[in-house]
A = this chain, B = another copy of it.
Amino acid sequence: MSALSLCPIEFRYGSDEMRKIFKRENILARMIEVEVTLVKSLEECGLIPRGYSVSLESCVHSIKLEEVDSYEKSLGHDVMALVIAIADACGESARFVHYGATSNDIIDTAWALLIRDALRVVESKLIELINLLTKLSEEYSDTLMVGRTHAQHALPITLGFKFANYLYEFTRSLERLMSVESRIVRGKMAGAVGTMAGWGDKGFCVESSFMRELNLGSHVITTQVSPRDGVAELVNALAILASQAERLGIEVRELMRPEIMELAEGVEGRVGSSTMPHKENPVLSEKLAGLARLMRSLTITALEDIPLWHERDLSNSSAERFLIPHSFLVIDEVLNTLIKILENLRIYPERMMNNLKLSRGTNMSEALVLRLTDKGMLRHEAYKLVRELVSKAINENKDFLTVVSEDPRILKYLTKEEINEALNYRKYLGMHKALIERTIKYANEVLKQHSLLSQK
């Protein structure tokens, strides 16, 4: 089959677990489930006689996607095609199928169910990632390395501190997804223009019975369709997540440069290049960047779907057929890839230490400025003096410690011991450990909230 495919989500990207959710046969199954649930609710509210839903349940399983497709071909309408296919399969039992409903009662509710399933997968992988980063933050909490800003050497940090920042960012994403879920995973059962006209004064009864059965919250009011701001918010949240993953991927790609080589993707038997046998390439991390670009783009499609005309126009439909499955399969691949990268990450603490020392102490200049300020210099004059000494150390190719210790202007304020102390990497890590702990605690709280929410 794959030989005839075109789209990478069919065969290349995303897990089977996620693929199963958005396969056409599953989408159909969800739509049928929604139709049957409606009939149940009609019975419960006394709008139709009891018994129809039970007999429906036993006959709908025989419906084939091909039949529905073939009806759609002639009718040009997918839900109408389904309704007729149900009628074919179930005869008199189908009498009240779709009673009072409009197509998007079925479609939007099916999307809500599918998105809920898909979010479960995304969230469980995100939690796995959060747990991995928690472990890495703890394990490497004291592994010294240089912090880099503008890709230049700044102050020392630790690898665990670096990981903790990613831990924080991904935890924010989990929090955000929980907030988004409350606005997007909502059913819609309100008829052709949202007034529930088909069920007379039983509209609220039908709706609440229907939502209870599917364990869904309901929109407060709708037109023919659910408001599309929810999709836009969802896709954007996934694009943020993908961009955060890209950021971690860039970290790996950069730190795996042969000149740096502090981190590296585990490559196992992977071939680096078809022509250069020596190559080992961070291809998983690079993939994250490409997929993040796609995710970012899709936010535009989703935003443009919001201004539907009047009680709705159809323009969101073709767009969402791409938007929803692609977003989830792509984010799924992103998360799987990132987990794989972290699980196989090669870490070189010695290289980190070597690189940290590359600037021969000049990157500790801030510490010196502060100590001088403590002892009475104006901060910005201390800054100027230290800057001069940094230049000297570089130009004369000497250790910063040596240059500083020989400068009489410095020695007026600081003893050699104090200078030694000021330029000690390990003594200039600030609150790194407490910050890591605070981040892990925050992550744990969010995980707990998530777990509470999921039990509902």
Contact = CB atoms under 8 A, between A and B. Distances in A.
B329 A6 contact: yes
Interface stretch (A119-127, A269-277, A342-350, A411-419): A269-277
B96 A373 contact: yes
A147 B310 contact: yes
B220 A276 contact: no
Contacts of A270: 75-77
Contact of A277 (B200, B201, B277, B390): B390
Contact of A75 (B169, B269, B434): B269
Contacts of A3: 23-25, 65-66
A344 B87 CA distance: 31
B315 A293 contact: yes
Nearest to A281: B150
Contact of A297 (B223, B298, B312): B298
Interface in A269-302: 269-283, 286-287, 289-294, 296-301
Interface string A309-345: 1111111111111110110010000000000000000
Contacts of A8: 318, 321-322
Interface stretch (A54-62, A173-181, A448-456): A173-181
A406 interface: no
B299 A299 contact: yes
A247 interface: yes
Contacts of A199: 430
Contact of A290 (B183, B276, B314, B325): B314
Interface residues of A, number: 195
B390 A273 contact: no
B304 A293 contact: yes
Contacts of A296: 300-301, 303-304
Contacts of A13: 318
A297 B330 CA distance: 16
B304 A299 contact: no
A2 B27 CA distance: 12
A74 to B, nearest CB: 6
A198 B6 contact: no
5 contacts: A97-B379, A98-B379, A147-B193, A149-B193, A168-B221
Given A229-B243, A277-B387, 20 more contacts: A2-B65, A3-B24, A3-B25, A6-B22, A87-B380, A92-B378, A96-B379, A97-B380, A98-B275, A152-B258, A172-B230, A220-B438, A232-B240, A233-B236, A243-B307, A257-B257, A277-B386, A291-B318, A293-B315, A296-B300
